[in-house]
């Protein structure tokens, strides 16, 4: 009986020990499986995360995973061999850090694209408003031909509108220059990848602005020489900015065919320059003609400078030969228009717009000084005094002879 009880007791003890061992083995396996499942899920969450908020939650989950399983390191290491618990946690953190960097870059880029889109929208909106104002003023100018005072006021307002537009566009170009000239290749590449979301990119805007300037030059109602000189300077600034950032802009926003995009803009700039030149030289020729100064025809800065010198040289020769009051009036007329209008009102614009250089203006001034010396009528006082002196002497001689004759008769 005692033997039987001992046997039963031994069986129960062995059964309990075996069951406990099996439970321990099952618990270790479950820990390994749970860890592997949570680890895999975290890797997938990191890969799929698209916001910094989601990645912040994942970081908390990584910390929690490490805390929960840290006491089971040996069990997990046995399952992961040759990997270790510490290595896989480090992998999670490295992947998470890389994802944070990528997502942050994307979010910054999205913000930059949104900001650019907003800037372009504001620019287009303001430009459209200016275009409507310009068109309205042009219509009013055409309708006010019977009222000179009103027409003059409208033309003045129209010219101010163009000046405001030029300043607005120049500021836009300055902003583009500042922003894109400082970008490195990586930044431009990032924007290129996201630029497809833009309804209209900066290259499109520049193209549209140039087309509008060309249209303005083709209509050119109420504009005068200073307006075309100002437009020539505006064109020069446009070309300067485009030469500095045109390649970056087309590579960034027209990646499929940047060379063609640049060629299109270059052609538009050339067309714009031609339309400005046609109007500028015609208005300048008319301005001199309206002041009775008939210059040889010109269609460039060099030809204009030559025409000025040819006119002065010819007038100088006439003054040398004739030295008449009429020639002097020709000099005074040219000198007055040159100093009061060309130099005083247009001089700075001429220099900025590459119409004349400071040296060329000074050369005209020098020739004017020489012309003045020859054109000023010479005084006739000396000749008159000589005639008077001769007459007096002759009178005295006649008087003496008469007296001498009278004295002889008395004797």
Which segments within 173-256 are labelled E, that is strand? none
pLDDT at 235 over 80: yes
CA–CA dist 190, 177 (Å, integer): 18
Domain boundary among 120, 135, 157: 120
Q: Are residues 248 and 204 in the same domain?
A: yes
In a domain, 252, yes or no: yes
66: containing domain: 25-120
Same-domain status, 187 and 277: yes
Q: Which pLDDT does position 94 carry in this prediction?
A: 94
In this structure, are 84 and 162 located in the same domain? no
Position 162 scores a pLDDT of 76
Kindly state whether residues 61 and 106 are assigned to the same domain.
Answer: yes
Q: Which residue, 233, 253, 284, sits at the end of a domain? A: 284
Task: Quote the pLDDT of residue 384.
Answer: 54
Q: In whole angstroms, what is the distance from residue 177 CA to residue 172 CA?
A: 9
Give tens-digit pLDDT for 298-322: 999 999 999 999 999 999 999 888 8
Residues 219 and 200 reside in one and the same domain: yes
pLDDT at position 7 is 42
Q: In this predicted structure, what is the pLDDT of residue 187?
A: 65
Instruction: Determine, yes or no, domain membership for 408.
Output: no
**The predicted structure's pLDDT at residue 130:** 76
Residues 81 and 174 in one domain: no
What are the CA-CA distances from residue 347 to residues 338, 354, 358, 362 (Å)? Answer: 10, 11, 9, 11
% of the chain at pLDDT higher than 70:
80
Confidence of residue 201 (pLDDT cuts 50, 70, 90): confident
Computed over every residue of the chain, the mean pLDDT equals 80
pLDDT of 267 higher than 90: yes
At 74, is the pLDDT very low, low, confident or very high (cuts 50, 70, 90)?
A: confident
What are the tens digits of pLDDT across the range 328-354?
999 999 999 999 999 998 988 888 888
User: In this predicted structure, what is the pLDDT of residue 340?
Assistant: 94
Is 355 contained in some domain?
Answer: yes
Query: From residue 116, how far is each of 24, 179, 262, 349 by CA, in Å?
Result: 62, 11, 21, 33
Please give the average per-residue pLDDT across 94-105, as a whole number. 84
Do residue 255 and residue 360 come from a single domain? no
Distances in Å between the alpha carbon of 187 and those of 78, 136, 180, 248?
46, 42, 9, 11
301 within a domain of the structure (yes/no): yes
Most confident of 121-125, 133-137, 249-253, 274-278: 274-278
For residues 116 and 69, membership in a common domain is answered with: yes
Least confident window among 2-6, 47-51, 238-242, 286-290 = 2-6
In a domain, 333, yes or no: yes
Give phi and psi for 146, each to the nearest 5. Answer: -85, -10
Q: What share of the chain is helix, strand, coil (3-state, %, to 5)?
A: 90, 0, 10
Say whether both 369 and 319 belong to one domain.
yes
Residue 113 has pLDDT above 90, yes or no: no
pLDDT, greater one: 312 or 384: 312
Structure tokens at 238: 């446009």
The answer to whether 123 and 202 have CB atoms below 8 angstroms apart is no
342 and 242 within one domain:
no
């Amino acid at each position: 009986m005692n033997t039987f009880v001992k046997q039963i007791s031994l069986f129960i003890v062995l059964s309990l020990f075996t069951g406990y061992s099996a439970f321990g083995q099952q618990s270790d396996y479950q820990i390994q499986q749970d860890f592997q499942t949570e680890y895999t899920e975290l890797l997938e969450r990191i890969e799929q995360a698209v916001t910094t908020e989601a990645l912040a939650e994942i970081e908390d989950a990584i910390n929690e995973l490490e805390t929960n399983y840290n006491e089971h390191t040996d069990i997990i290491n046995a399952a992961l061999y040759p990997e270790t618990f510490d290595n896989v946690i480090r992998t999670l953190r490295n992947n998470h850090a890389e994802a944070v960097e990528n997502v942050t870059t994307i979010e910054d880029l999205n913000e930059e694209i949104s900001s650019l889109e907003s800037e372009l929208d504001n620019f287009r909106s303001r430009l459209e408003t200016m275009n409507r104002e310009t068109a309205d003023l042009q219509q009013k100018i055409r309708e006010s031909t019977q009222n000179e005072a009103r027409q003059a006021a409208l033309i003045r307002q129209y010219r101010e509108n163009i000046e405001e537009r030029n300043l607005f566009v120049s500021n836009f170009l300055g902003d583009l220059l500042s922003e894109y000239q400082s970008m490195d290749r990586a930044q431009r590449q990032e924007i290129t990848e996201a630029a497809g979301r833009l309804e209209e990119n900066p290259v499109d805007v520049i193209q549209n602005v140039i087309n509008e300037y060309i249209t303005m030059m083709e209509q050119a109602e109420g504009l005068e020489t200073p307006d075309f000189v100002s437009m020539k300077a505006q064109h020069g600034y446009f070309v300067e900015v485009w030469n500095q950032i045109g390649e970056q802009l087309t590579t960034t926003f027209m990646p499929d065919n940047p060379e063609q995009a640049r060629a299109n803009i270059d052609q538009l700039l050339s067309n714009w320059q031609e339309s400005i030149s046609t109007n500028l030289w015609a208005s300048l020729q008319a301005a001199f003609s309206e002041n009775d100064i008939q210059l040889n025809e010109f269609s460039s800065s060099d030809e204009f400078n030559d025409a000025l010198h040819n006119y002065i040289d010819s007038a100088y020769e006439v003054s040398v030969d004739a030295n008449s009051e009429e020639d002097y009036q020709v000099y005074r007329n040219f000198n007055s228009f040159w100093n009061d209008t060309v130099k005083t009102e247009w001089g700075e614009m001429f220099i900025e717009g590459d119409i004349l250089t400071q040296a060329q203006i000074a050369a005209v001034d020098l020739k004017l000084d020489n012309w003045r010396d020859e054109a000023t009528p010479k005084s006739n006082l000396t000749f008159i005094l000589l005639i008077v002196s001769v007459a007096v002497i002759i009178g005295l001689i006649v008087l003496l002879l008469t007296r001498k004759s009278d004295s002889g008769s008395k004797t």
